[in-house]
Amino acid sequence: MFEVGLYDERKGRKRTIFFTGLIGAIIGAILILLALPALERNGILSSRTESSNEEGNNIAEERSVSIDVTTDITKAVDKVSDAVVGVVNIQKSGFWEDESESSEAGTGSGVLYKKSGNKAYLVTNYHVIEGANEIEVSLKDGSRIAGKVRGGDDLTDLAVIEIDGKNIKTLAEFGDSDRIKAGEPAIAIGNPLGLQFAGSVTQGIISGTNRLIPQDLNNDGNPDWQAEVIQTDAAINPGNSGGALINVAGKVIGINSMKIAEDAVEGIGLSIPINTARPFIEDLEKDGEVHRPYIGISTLSLSQISGYHLQETLKLPKGIVEGVAVLRVSRLSPAAKAGMKEYDVIVEMEGKRVRNIIDLRKYLYQKGVNDTLDITFYRNGKKKNETLKLVEEPK
């Protein structure tokens, strides 16, 4: 029995009405039950249908959910990934030609950028194809075709390979590396650690532009070139060399070249800016070599020469400790025709200070074949100026 509360005038109080809350709960439950079909139709509640199998067990059928994960990053990757291929360096081993065997000496990556007629062309790193007796190119579908090296250049670490273009459908588009900014997204595509990880994608940002990395090309312990590269924290590992660094528009902004591999350093990948690489790629594709101006001297940076020889052999004024000493002048070269001699010390080119061999090559290679070059140098303690007519570097 529920007690019905009445107001008792004699006692001056109101008794609690117990059934009022119960009636409210019942009405609320009825409203929810009436609303359930509408909630399910609108997807607010998941629908579950139960059916009985032959043994009388209930089986729940749940509605599957589809999620669209398309982003600017995935669109960029889809646009260019088929144009990033594997490059296999095959070398022969064995002393005797008829007993030698061919084997894979290493793998890298390459970027398909052009088709002409029935040929296609890809760019990769020089160190990927260096020493190869044969080249194979591994396409996105896993098939391999023979490749022919059109040309390679150690100084820029670039090479161009020609392949049969019959089955090539996708080409990468070059972007503008001069417009990239630190902090913008960057995506690396390549084949890290071999072809079993072909087409791997890593994402990061542009960590820095115009980074200068000294390189010792002849392994004498002294830098003789300085590569200008893009720095990114997108993971680049062995095998990524020659692959693409792209922006969110799916355009190639760099050719991945190397990684600083030290225990204390992580997330530093380096890539050759595509605007820097483009003229060298064109030379290698067309002529199989890079056309560079030549002055005809053998040199040594002053930093590698003792103080004694700076004064006694080169006879430099005190305080001149930066520059490039001329050790030999080739006959009939531009330097010889301009009257340069052994032990001259070059300190300026085109009015810019020359501190070492890196500077000399930098300013020289900014010139073209048949251009003139103004040089300032010391001879026996006296400053001189000469103008050289540049020619193409002999092969």
Please give the Cα distance from 146 to 158 (Å, whole number): 19
Residue 157 known to be catalytic: yes
| Active-site position among 127, 207, 283, 359 | 127
| Active-site position among 81, 109, 207, 241 | 241
Q: Which amino acid is at 332?
A: L
Q: How many CA atoms lie within 13 A of 88 on its CB side?
A: 18
Please give the Cα distance from 277 to 341 (Å, whole number): 35
Cβ partners under 8 Å of residue 129, min gap 6: 87, 89, 108, 135, 149, 152, 159, 161
Chain position carrying tokens 């060399």? 241
Please give the Cα distance from 206 to 247 (Å, whole number): 9
Please give the Cα distance from 142 to 70 (Å, whole number): 25
How far separated are the first and last CA of the chain, in Å rounded? 113
Element (H, E) at 286: helix 274-287
Which residues are paired to 293 by β-bridges?
A: 392
CA dist list (Å): 273 to 93, 121, 122, 359 = 35, 19, 16, 20
Residue 164 known to be catalytic: no
Chain position carrying tokens 């010139």? 367
Phi (first) and psi of residue 28, to 5 degrees: -60, -40
Strands 324-329 vs 352-353: parallel, antiparallel or unpaired: unpaired
CA dist list (Å): 253 to 85, 101, 368 = 17, 39, 25
Residue 317, helix vs strand vs coil: coil
User: Looking at residue 288, what DSSP letter applies?
Assistant: S
| Active-site position among 81, 109, 138, 157 | 157
**Residues taking part in catalysis:** 127, 157, 241
